[in-house]
Structure 1
Amino acid sequence: MAGTQELFISLGDYQPNAALDPQQTTLALAKGLENLFERIDRMKSLDPLFVDVTWGAGGSTQTSTLSIASYAQQYCGLDVLMHMTCTNLTRGQVRHALLLAKEAGVHNVLALRGDAGKGQNRWEAVEGGLGNATELVRFIREEFGDYFGIAVAGHPEGHVEGGGIEQDLVYLQEKIAAGADFVITQFFYDAAVFTSYVARCRAAGVLVPIIPGIMPIQSYASFSRMTEFCKTKVAASVHEELGPVRDDDEAVKAKGVKLAAGMCRQLLEEGACEGDWDEFPNGRWGDSRSPAFGELSDSHFYRFTLGNVEDRKAMLGDAPTSLPDVYQVFSDYVEGKLPLLPWCESSLQPESLTIQGELARLNRAGFLTINSQPAVNGGSSADPVFGWGGAGGFVYQKAYVECFCSPENLNKLMVAAEKKESLFVHAVSVSGDEQVLGMGNSGVAALTWGVFPGKEVVQPTVFDPVLFCGAWADEAFSLWQTMWQNLYEEDSVSFDLIDTIHDTFFLVAIIDNDFIKGDSLWECLMEVGGVREGEA
C-alpha cells in the first residue's frame, strides 16, 4: 500500500463571531490556517494514505474546509478525503459544495448523515434535504457518477443511537449498495473487535476495503468520556496501564501512542487494510459498478452528549421554575451531588476540589461556573493534585473562572473588578455584545504553563478572546437549548426560564494575572456574590 497511516485533520466547527472586529477575526483564522498548513507539510513525510478533513454542520466551515482540502491536494500532493454531511443542507446545497470540492481537485468524500444542528434536540432532515448517509451516497453517484470515491462509516460495536450490531450491518449493506467504495470504522481499543467486525461484514457480502479507525488517547478524562458514551470495549489491561498515570497527561499520551501502535501492528499482521489505494483511478478505492452492498448516520467521531432525554431529566432533577432552581443544579454539581453538566463532561477535577466551597457559594449566588482553576506558583510537576507534564518540572497557573451570569451580576462584577489591578474580565452575550475590563485585554493570555528539564516552556492552556467570543461562546450558549431547554414542553415555565437565561445571560471569563498571590479573583467574586469570608 502507499501508506499505512490515516492522517486525520479536524478543523471542527470554528465560526468567527460576527460582533468581533472583522480584521481581527480574519487574521486569527489566517494564522490558524497557516499553522495547520505547516503541520500538513511536516506530516506529509509520514506518507499518509490520505488526509481526512472534517465538515461543519450545515456547511459552517465550508470555506476553510475547501481551503485545507485544496492545499493538501494541490500543493502537498496528498489525497484528500473530505467529509460531507446532510445536516441542514438541501440537495442543491450539497450539489454546490461537491462542485466546489471537484473544482478544488478533491476526489474522495466521506458521506455521513451528521450531528443534529444547533438548537435541535434530535436530527431531522431539512425540507428538500437528504435523510441519511445512504441517500447521500446515492445522490453523489447520481450527480457525479464515478468521479468521487465514497467512504462511509462502520460501527464495530454498534451505533450509539441503538438498533444493535446486526441492524448496523444492514445499514452498511445499504450504503455499499447505494455506491460506497470503502468503510472507515468508529474507533475501538481492542483489535479483536475489528477482526470480528470484518468477518461479519464479509459473511454478509460486504467485500469493499474496511479501514480501522484508530484514535490515540490524548488524556485520561477524554478517553473515559468517549469510551463510556460510545460503549466501547476496553481491556482490563488498558485500564491497568493508564490508571497509575491518569493525572499525568504526557505519560497518558505516551501510553496511548504505544497502545495505538500495538493495535496497528496487530491489525496489519492479521491482514487489515487489504487492497491497494493506488489500484483505482485518482487514488481511490472501488468502483460503483461492482456487485457489493451500503449507511449509518452521524459523524466519524461522536460529539459527547449527556445521553438521551430521559437520562438528562433524571440527572438534572425536577424541572426548574425559578433562577434559584437553576443555580442549585450548578452548586449540586460542584459539590459532587451531580456527576455531569452540559458544559462539564466529568466530575470536578482534583485541583478544582481545592476551591470547591468557593465555587458552590458562587453558583448559589448566580455565577454559574463551568470552568475554574486556582493559582499555582512553581508547584512540583509531580504534585498529585496540580502536577502535569512529567517529572522534574515546575508548573504555574493563574486563578481563572469561567461562568454564566445575569446582566445585573455582570455589572456588579465589573464595578468590583475595577478595584483589583490584576484582574481581567471578558464577557460576551449570545447576541455578541462584549464587555472587557482590566489588564491584558489586547490578546491571547497564558493560563497554565510549565518549565521542564531539556524543554522550552510548555504552555498548554491559553485564553484567546477571538475563540472565546466565537467558537466557544457559540457552543456554550447552544448547550442551554440542546441539552437542557429541549427537555421541557415549549412555552412551559421551565422552557421559558432556560430560554431567558440563554438570551440574556453573559458568558464571562475572569483571569487573575497575579499568579503569585492569586487571591484577588476570589475576593472580588465573594464580594459581588454577597458572600463574606468563612460564610457557608
Structure 2
Amino acid sequence: MRVSDHLSQAKKTLFSYEIVPPLRGSTPITEIFSIIEKLLPYDPKWINVTTHASSLLYVENSDGTISKRIHKKRPGTMGICGVIQNKYGIDAVAHVLCQGFSQQETEDALIELNYMGIENILALKGDNLNYNRQIADNETVNRNAVDLVRQVAKMRDGKFIADTEYPPVDFCMGVAGYPEKHFEAANMQLNIDYLKQKVAAGAEYVITQMFFDNDKYFAYVDACRAAGINVPIIPGIKVIKTANQLNSLPRLFHIDLPHELVSELVAKPEHAATIGKEWAKTQVKDLIARGAPCVHFFLMNDVSSVLEIIKDFN
C-alpha cells in the first residue's frame, strides 16, 4: 500500500518509524527482526530503511603502510525492505540517494525494489561524499533531490535511461523537509522554494528533519501551505537519550534545541534518558492534538524509549 493511501485513509494520527541497516559484519539481521517484532503490536503502517553510500577509509596494512579503501559500511537496505514487506506484511520505504550513486545505479535499484513489491521510497540528496567518486563516461548523476524525483517520475511514464525497455514503475515518493532550514539554503524562503520544486516534480508527501520545538514545525507547515505546498507534511521526532546529544545533534543535523530542554539536560545529565523521553512524549501529544497526519520516529535502532511513548497513544 502506498504511504499516500495510508495517510488519506487514516482516521487518526499514524505512527511510522525509521531504522538503520546494521554495520557491515557487526550485527546479525536478527537484530532488525527483533526491532520490527517489538513494533508489530502497535500496528506500524510503514517503516523507513535508510541507505548509505560508500565512504573512504584509511587502512593500516600489516607492513605499516597506509592504503585507501572505498567501503560501504551499512549495506542491505533493499534486502531489509524485502523482509519487512514480505515477511512481516508492513509497507517498507526505501531511502534512495543522489550522493554516491549514478542515475543508472538508481534505475537498477528501483527496478529491483519494484520486483520485490516495494511501492514507496524517500528521495534524498544524501550526505556529501568524503572522496571524489569517479563517474564513467556513460553514466550521469542526480545533483539534487529534485533531480532524483524527476528521474523517478519519468519511470512512472515508462521513460528509462538509454531507452531501456521495461514496464512503467510507479513509486509513491516522499522527500525531506526542514522546519529550521536546510543548512545549504540561503534563507527560509529558498528552503521552501526547493521543497515546492520537489513536490511539483512528483513528491507526494514530506517527512521533516527532527525538531524539538513543535511551534517551528507548525510555522513551517503554515509557510508551506501559503506557498502552495499541499501534500502531507509529517513531523520527524528523535528521542534524546544522553546529554552528549546536546552537542552531537545540532552539529550533525543543523538544528536548535529549546532552552528549557537544554537547561534540564545540563542540570541533570544523568537523567537524560528520562528527560528526553518525557520531552518527546509531550511533543507527540501536542502534535496529535494539533492535527499532525503522522508522527515519524527516527529510531536509530533504539526502540525501547519509543515503545514507552507510543503505548500511551494506542
TM-score range, shorter chain: 0.7 to 0.9
Distance 2:217 2:247 in 1: 20
Cα separation, partners in 2 of 1:179 and 1:62, compared to 1, 3 Å: farther
Which residue in the other structure is 2:153 paired with?
Answer: 141
Shift of the alpha carbon at 1:229? 5.2
Which residue in the other structure is 2:211 paired with?
Answer: 188
Which residue in the other structure is 1:118 paired with?
Answer: 130
Distance 1:153 1:261 in 2: 23
Amino acid at match of 1:111: A
Distance 2:121 2:246 in 1: 28
Q: Deviations over 1:346-395 (max 9, x none)?
A: xxxxxxxxxxxxxxxxxxxxxxxxxxxxxxxxxxxxxxxxxxxxxxxxxx
Determine whether 1:224 maps to 2:234: no
Distance 2:16 2:278 in 1: 17
Other structure's SS at 2:194 match:
helix
Which residue in the other structure is 1:42 paired with?
Answer: 38
Determine whether 1:267 maps to 2:290: no
Distance 2:179 2:229 in 1: 14
Identity in percent? 28
Q: Deviations over 1:385-415 (max 9, x none)?
A: xxxxxxxxxxxxxxxxxxxxxxxxxxxxxxx
Unaligned runs of at least 5 residues, structure 2: 1-9, 55-70, 158-168, 300-314
Cα separation, partners in 2 of 1:78 and 1:202, compared to 1, 3 Å: same
Other structure's SS at 1:183 match:
strand
Determine whether 1:92 maps to 2:88: no
Distance 1:49 1:194 in 2: 22
Contact 2:13 2:291 in 1 (8 A): no
Distance 1:221 1:103 in 2: 42
Distance 1:160 1:270 in 2: 27
Contact 1:111 1:152 in 2 (8 A): yes
Other structure's SS at 1:129 match:
coil
Q: How does 1:114-263 map to 2 (within 5 A)?
A: 114-120=126-132, 127-145=139-157, 147-228=170-251, 230-246=253-269, 248=270, 251-263=271-283
Contact 1:141 1:179 in 2 (8 A): yes
Cα separation, partners in 2 of 1:186 and 1:63, compared to 1, 3 Å: closer
Amino acid at match of 1:237: E
Shift of the alpha carbon at 1:74? 0.9
Q: Deviations over 1:94-131 (max 9, x none)?
A: 010111111222111000111122325xx998851111
Shift of the alpha carbon at 1:6? 1.9
Distance 2:96 2:190 in 1: 23
Q: Of residues 12, 19, 39 in structure 2, which corresponds to 1:9?
A: 19
Distance 2:245 2:135 in 1: 30
Distance 1:171 1:183 in 2: 12
TM-score (norm 1): 0.45
Distance 2:127 2:250 in 1: 18
Shift of the alpha carbon at 1:4? 2.4
Distance 2:208 2:156 in 1: 25
Distance 2:251 2:130 in 1: 24
Shift of the alpha carbon at 1:72? 0.7
CA RMSD after TM alignment:
2.5
Distance 2:112 2:77 in 1: 11
Which residue in the other structure is 1:33 paired with?
Answer: 29
Q: Deviations over 1:130-188 (max 9, x none)?
A: 11110101111111347211000101111122411111101000000100000001111
Which residue in the other structure is 2:48 paired with?
Answer: 52
Other structure's SS at 1:6 match:
strand
Cα separation, partners in 2 of 1:62 and 1:140, compared to 1, 3 Å: farther
Shift of the alpha carbon at 1:272? 1.1
Amino acid at match of 2:265: L
Shift of the alpha carbon at 1:61? 6.8
Contact 2:21 2:74 in 1 (8 A): no
Amino acid at match of 1:11: P
Shift of the alpha carbon at 1:225? 2.2
Shift of the alpha carbon at 1:236? 1.9
Amino acid at match of 1:134: V
Distance 1:68 1:144 in 2: 24
Shift of the alpha carbon at 1:48? 2.0
Unaligned runs of at least 5 residues, structure 1: 16-24, 275-299, 302-536
Distance 1:159 1:153 in 2: 10
Amino acid at match of 2:276: G
Contact 1:218 1:252 in 2 (8 A): yes
Other structure's SS at 1:5 match:
strand
Amino acid at match of 1:4: L
**Number of aligned positions between the proteins:** 257
Other structure's SS at 2:240 match:
coil
Amino acid at match of 1:45: P
Contact 1:173 1:206 in 2 (8 A): yes
Distance 1:153 1:125 in 2: 26
Cα separation, partners in 2 of 1:235 and 1:117, compared to 1, 3 Å: closer
Larger radius of gyration: 1
Shift of the alpha carbon at 1:208? 0.1
Distance 1:150 1:244 in 2: 42
TM-score (norm 2): 0.75
Distance 1:134 1:254 in 2: 39
Shift of the alpha carbon at 1:230? 4.1
Amino acid at match of 2:46: F
Other structure's SS at 1:71 match:
helix
Cα separation, partners in 2 of 1:124 and 1:166, compared to 1, 3 Å: farther
Cα separation, partners in 2 of 1:174 and 1:124, compared to 1, 3 Å: farther
Shift of the alpha carbon at 1:214? 0.5
Which residue in the other structure is 2:114 paired with?
Answer: 102
